Structure 1
Amino acid sequence: MLDQAASVLRGSDEPLETSSRVARVAFIGQPNTGKSMLFNRITGAHASVANWPGMTVDLMKATVNWSGDRVECVDLPGVFDLEGYSDDEKVVCNFLTSVEIDMVVVVLNAAQIDRQILTVLQIRTLGLPAVVMLNMADEARKLDIEIDTAVLSKRFGMPFHLISAKYGEGCAKALEDLTDQTRRRSREPAIVPDYDTLRNTLMCDETLEEAISGAVAFPDEIPTTFSERLDRILLHPVLGLPLFFAIMLGVFWLIWTVGLPSQDWIGSGTDWLQKVLIEPALSPLPSGLRDFLLNGVWLGVATVASFMGLIILFFFCMAAVEDSGYLSRAAYLMDALMRRAGLDGRAFVMQMMGFGCNVPALMGTRVMRSRSLRLLSMLVIPFSLCSARLAVFVFIIAATFPAAFGPFVLFSFYVISFAAAFLAAVVMNRSKQFKSNEPFMLELPPYRVPTLRLVLMRGWGELRVFLRRATKFIIVGCAAVWFLTNFPTHATGLHTWGGQIGTFLQPVMKPIGIDPYLTLALIFGFIAKEIVIGSLSTIYALPSSAISGEIAHTVTAVQAYSFCLFCLLYTPCLTTIATVRGESKSWGFTTFSLVLSLVYAWGVSFVFYQSALLLGFH
């Protein structure tokens, strides 16, 4: 039962280790305390780290060696209250009452200790052994907040440490103490707390003010911070939204002007590699097998690989935006507008998260208590311009639009993704199933200068996920495309099986300007959007350096834009579909979301393409 409960909580079939020789340490804290950042520093793992509330939505596990002892560290979701009722709070509650624990690491924001000490009080009431990490000590000093850790340690009966997980301040000493405490505690039986003890106390016996009285000194007058001065501009009721979109336009301009040239460099490298190594290595093989490996597998993988520089830059840019603290401001700015659609600022942030990948964004809806709000958010998140779609759009735009227009055309899809999500939410909110009155509460963290280490760690973590997913699907997808475009034997073009499929669907796809070849690429995009690019090389049997020229001669700018619109809004990848099913726990809702996205995509593309033709654009 223990293994099964832990496996369900982590969303994995791999059970947590339960050997008595392995001590288990749980990391607990409120959102935006730097808990996952500390977890990464201590374990060397790559849990998601972002400077906005509610980022950790799954359990991250890492087994480490502390002075010769094996210790299992588990990063729990950030929650405000151990007695709460959101999905994340239930995860923490279920974990604490289902899994044996040897030590708890409670992470607090030292600058907000007066509001966050409740977590320590609740852990003490549960009778769990703990070490408290007062993180962001540097920010507390800037606010002239003085904390006596010796007094707090004696009062609570557990060690308190002032640290900065971001810069490493105090971490070595804190880890040494944590190691000693865990080693001593692991000699005793692990604990599964009696949660009724906590619930019977309602909150706790002490007030928050009494808990820190005499140990924490706040200045008589809090100075005006840099974040407050900057917020007067960035959160201005009139200038706030234009500035936000200007910032995002700048991000896409950087991605286009810096990332796009890397496509040519990598493409030249893969062409050279094909000529010098791949083709000679495959030359002894039979012609059919050689053609399959070269044009069915290699060309597709090489084309996707040519976009890795752009994808890396995209992930690093988004990591910097998230780590700066600006993402929560975006939620605040958009909340009033999102309310009109039955959503709130959190749904907007989830869409921003969806720029990297829709999957973690869908999982992030667990911070919402209302099921109707979660379902409505999950319905519109797949419209986000994810990294896989970004690669497709850059490829198509670069081939069919003048280079000077590229950043603006790319940015237009970012705006359309939000507009499409907003319009869909407005319509769906008319149904009682999606109505919600859940209040929106968000604490704005201070602005922080993103550190290179954290940006690289965050960006690399996202890139690893992208590569793992891409590798899994691209080879299979491109191989399938090759079979469809090479059989029946001696058939070519539209006479192949793939061409016949594309031709068969032309009554549906021609009104939106999509030819049979692009139709076939979209069909395989159901598996993973990365396959769309790779499949084009396989369909046309051309290397990445030549495929752009072929598309430029066969696809007009209007057709290209319609194709990208359809790709933006139509059915998401299989991984996203599986996540929607897992998070909604409803096949009916999952099926409805698939049908909605497909119909929605066709309708938007149809309106655009036919309108363009009526206006004389071709």
Structure 2
Amino acid sequence: MKLIALLGMPNTGKSTLFNRISGASARVGNWPGITVDLMSAKILLGGHIAELIDLPGIYDLHGFSDDEQVVRHFLENNEIDLVILVLNTSQVDRQLSLGLQVRDLGLPTVLMLNMVDEAKRGGITVDPAIMSQHLGTPVAMLSAKYGEGFQQALQLAAQTMNNATAHPAPEELRAQLDSDDKIERQMEEIVKAAVQMPVQLTDALTSRLDKLLLHPWLGLPIFFAALYLLFQLIFTVGAPLQDGVAWLLDHGRSDLLEPMMASWPGWLHGLLLDGIYNGVGTVAAFVPIIILFFLVMTLVEDSGYLSRAAFLMDALMAKMGLDGRGFVMLLMGFGCNVPALMGTRVMRNRASRLLTMLVIPFSLCSARLQVFVFMTAVLFTPQQAPLVLFSMYLMSFAVTFLSALLFKSQFHSNEPFILELPPYRFPTPRQIVLRGWQEVGHFLNRASKFIIAGVVLVWALTNYPSGTAPASIDTYAGMIGQVLSPVLTPIGIDAQLAIALIFGFVAKEIVVGSLAVIYGLQGDELMQLMAQRLDWVQGMSFMLFTLIYTPCLSTIATLKTESRSSGFMWLSIGWSLLLAWMVSFAFYQGARALGF
């Protein structure tokens, strides 16, 4: 099988080309450095079955960033039959240095100058024949986004691979990668001969928008307003879809599964329906919102707007050991922590990425919001409820910034925040659909196995020993609540609320439902009973603990997968539990000391 390496600088449309060649759904976004994993796909090229590898975007083969080391290691340790080098046509005068470095490796290479549509709008013309003559490498012009010149570029790649004869030995490659030639002089000669660029590049739309969106005083308020409207759109449109999925799941259980399993043993019936079906169904009901979230964020990311937001917030975030990109991920976490954690792949430095992943779970996600809406309705007046919810958002930011300040020395990064602000672009429908499909697939694939394992465990804890009332204090879960009583009583959380928190470990959406099971009531009757048994101080302490303590299983699974470290996952769990207890303790004991 042939091996093809897809290589290029960040933000050159490399992953878009990968998707177009392979039909796969690698993540495509208008953000430098967005590809950090080795995506691969089997393709047919030049009569051969080949494996196409999408390497991380890099600026220099001789650099020392994590991504550059990945590319160097791959080139040195694999017999590559073809390198497809992707550069941005409108920036070829700056990016050709990478082309010269790749050429000097002696590997079969075809240079694909992408984004010719943008180059034409900017008045840039390139003569591929002259450039190929000077470079000694076949050159193709194309627009991977719209497919212009794609077939011709693919044919040229097939010819180059089939005509290749000898490959450099690994030791020759290593020696070449360790040496620097006179790249700058050669690059200037080629650009002067083959490229015609106007004296001043103009992008009227980008210039006009940046005057407003990057304004030192108006930039951030406009960004927050735009993001607020986008989230409103997501949940306004997604709520009916979520209700529809929940309705289907309910009817699937009552009309199909329950009659079918009526004669099955009680323990098996309970495990499959009350455990696995309800647990997985809770997650499945949120898939419509997750899909909408990804589709909307694709528009924002591919437009280039998130790069601007990162630029505006970088100075403040730097004081906490983060950078502007971390701020964007925190905002994404208010929709769902899982995609926000996955979004940290845009960070090139591992230390920065880990610190950002450590604080993202403190973002007040939509699942926690359901708990807070319920509790505020139980314990506070309609006039007080909005202020209580607003205080939860403020606390979310507070614990995020506190954690970043405390741990920034452990995850210290000296990497400067260098981010190219690309022109504003709008993704095609094909890009949007592929992005949504890929991210939802990743979410379901990675999280489902942990959700199933978690709900099975919770069901067992709340249904055994045999003969006990489900979710009562006589079950194993109730016994755990009693054991935790010395720890939770000082923060105003009793055994019943402790059981609800155990359910919340699987998914925060289960907390409200578990309270109905625990108290044996629902609707207004449940709210009235809880209002009698809890005061507002206990309710606030419970909400603070729910906000900060261990995130759901989906988030934990994503933390482990994205960090590739079980130790980091346990650090996140341990710190969130400790911080949740300390904050709730300070609030509860302080309020009681003041006579509340």
**TM-score bin (small chain):** 0.7 to 0.9
Match of 2:509 among 533, 544, 558: 533
Say if 1:101 and 1:190, in contact at 8 Å, map to a contact too.
no
Shift of 1:565: 4.6
Taking the aligned partners of 1:62 and 1:190, their CA distance within structure 2 comes to: 25
Letter in 1 for 2:139: F
Distance 1:394 1:347, change over 3 A: closer
Deviation at 1:208, TM superposition (A): 3.0
Residue 227, structure 1, aligned to residue 206, structure 2 = yes
Give the alignment of 1:193-342 within 5 angstroms. 194-201=173-180, 204=183, 206-342=185-321
Q: What's 1:360 paired with?
A: 342
> In the alignment, is the contact (CA less than 8 A) between 2:7 and 2:14 conserved in 1?
yes
Which ranges of structure 2 fall in alignment gaps of 5 or more residues?
none
Aligned to 2:447: 470
CA 1:215–1:562 in 2, change beyond 3 Å: closer, same or farther? farther
**Bigger mean CA offset, 285-294 vs 330-339:** 285-294
1:442 aligns with 2:433: no
**Contact 1:502 1:516 survives alignment (8 Å):** yes
Residue 454 in structure 1 maps to residue 454 in structure 2: no
Q: Which one of 107, 114, 117 corresponds to residue 128 of structure 1?
A: 107
| SS of residue in 2 equivalent to 1:206 | helix
Q: Is the 8 A contact 2:450 2:557 kept in 1?
A: no
Change (3 A) 1:534 1:404: same
Superposed counterparts of 1:420-435, under 5 Å: 420-429=399-408, 431=409, 433-435=410-412
CA contact (8 A) 2:108 2:161 kept: no
Encode CA deviations 1:452-505: one digit per residue, 9 max, x unaligned.
221221111111111112321222221211111111222122221112212332
State the alpha-carbon separation in 2 of the partners of residues 473 and 600 from structure 1: 25
Deviations 1:323-372 (A, max 9, x none): 1111111110111111222332243345456644355345544x12xx76
Aligned equivalents of 2:182 and 2:316: distance in 1? 35
Distance 1:173 1:594 in 2: 52
How far, CA to CA, are the matches of 1:444 and 1:407 in structure 2? Answer: 38
The reply on whether 1:80 has 2:65 as its aligned counterpart is no
- 1:155 is matched by which residue type in structure 2? H
Cα distance in 2 for partners of 1:190, 1:525 equals 57
Q: Which runs of 5+ in 1 are unaligned?
A: 1-21
Further displaced range: 569-578 or 45-54: 569-578
The TM-score with structure 2 as length reference comes to 0.86
After superposition, residues 98-113 of structure 1 pair within 5 angstroms as 98-113=77-92
State the SS of the aligned residue for 1:101.
coil
Deviations 1:408-428 (A, max 9, x none): 988876665444332322334
Identify if the C-alpha distance between structure 1 residues 615 and 233 changes in structure 2 by more than 3 Å, giving closer, same or farther: farther
CA displacement at 1:378 relative to structure 2? 4.6
Q: Provide the TM-score with structure 1 as the length reference.
A: 0.83
Maintained 8 Å contact 1:227/1:446 = yes
Q: Report if the CA contact (8 A) 1:359-1:575 is conserved.
A: no
Change (3 A) 1:499 1:25: same
Shift of 1:202: 5.0
Q: Which residue of 2 aligns with 1:114?
A: 93
Letter in 2 for 1:452: P
The DSSP-based 3-state class of the residue aligned with 2:40 is strand
- Alpha-carbon offset, residue 59 of structure 1: 0.5
C-alpha change, 1:414 and 1:169, in structure 2 (3 Å) is farther
Given the alignment, which residue of 539, 558, 564 partners 1:582? 564
Pair 311,499 (structure 1): closer, same or farther in 2 beyond 3 Å: same
- Name the CA shift for 1:419/1:105 in 2 (closer, same or farther; >3 Å): farther
| Corresponding letter in the other structure for 1:52 | W
Give the structure 2 partner of residue 39 of structure 1: 18
| Matched pairs, number | 577
Quick one: percent identity of the two aligned structures? 47
CA distance 1:555–1:39, change in 2 (3 Å): farther
Query: Contact between 2:122 and 2:203, CA under 8 Å: does it hold in 1?
Result: no
- After superposition, the Cα gap between the structure-2 partners of 1:279 and 1:372, relative to the gap in structure 1 and judged at 3 Å, is closer
SS of aligned partner of 2:146:
coil
Cα distance in 2 between the residues matched to 1:558 and 1:231: 47
Q: Equivalent residue for 1:504? A: 483
RMSD: 3.4
Once structures 1 and 2 are overlaid, which stretch shifts more, 48-57 or 396-405?
396-405
- CA-CA distance at 1:195 after TM superposition: 2.7
Contact kept in structure 2, 1:267 and 1:306, CA below 8 Å: yes
Q: How big is the shift at 1:220?
A: 2.3
